Amino acid sequence: MPKGKIPKKWQEILSKTESREEANHKLAIIEADVLLDDVLRKMGFLGATMTERLEKITANQLKSVGELKEAHRVRNNILHDPDFKLSLQRAKEVIELYEKVLKEMDII
């Protein structure tokens, strides 16, 4: 994804958190995770999955790697646990974690 498209895509993701629908909040997190995964792959981080890539990233490479791991765990809960409940507050917290990583990487 070209860098110029990322801020627009990020705004689309953020707009989903303004909805009252939990499904939109979950979708925002899934889309944020896909966006970050794409960025990591393009930066050369190797691994078959996002989880594998995250395990190889050190705090020296990305200070907020812990936050990204936490956000990715929530994304995994969304995808793998049909009973997973996500409050609007928690959704916004998780989106903020992704945003912190994107800012650290100077993407947005």
pLDDT at 6: 87
Instruction: Please give the residue range of the domain that contains residue 14.
Output: 5-104
Unique residue bearing structure tokens 């190889």: 56
pTM beyond cutoff 0.95: no
- Give me the count of residues in the chain: 108
CA nearest to 107, candidates 13, 31, 32, 39: 39
Tens-digit pLDDT string for the chain (108 aa): 555 688 899 999 999 999 999 999 999 999 999 999 999 999 999 999 999 999 999 999 999 999 999 999 999 999 999 999 999 999 999 999 999 999 999 988
Question: Do residues 95 and 17 lie in contact, with contact meaning Cβ atoms separated by under 8 Å?
Answer: yes
Res 47: pLDDT: 95
Helix residue spans in the chain (DSSP H): 5-16, 22-42, 50-56, 65-80, 88-104
Kindly report the CATH number assigned to the domain that includes residue 56: 1.20.120
Q: Name the domain count of the chain.
A: 1
* Rounded distance between C-alpha atoms, residue 105 and residue 108, angstroms: 8
Burial level of 37, CB count in 10 A (0-12/13-18/19+)? buried
Q: What is the pLDDT of residue 3?
A: 58
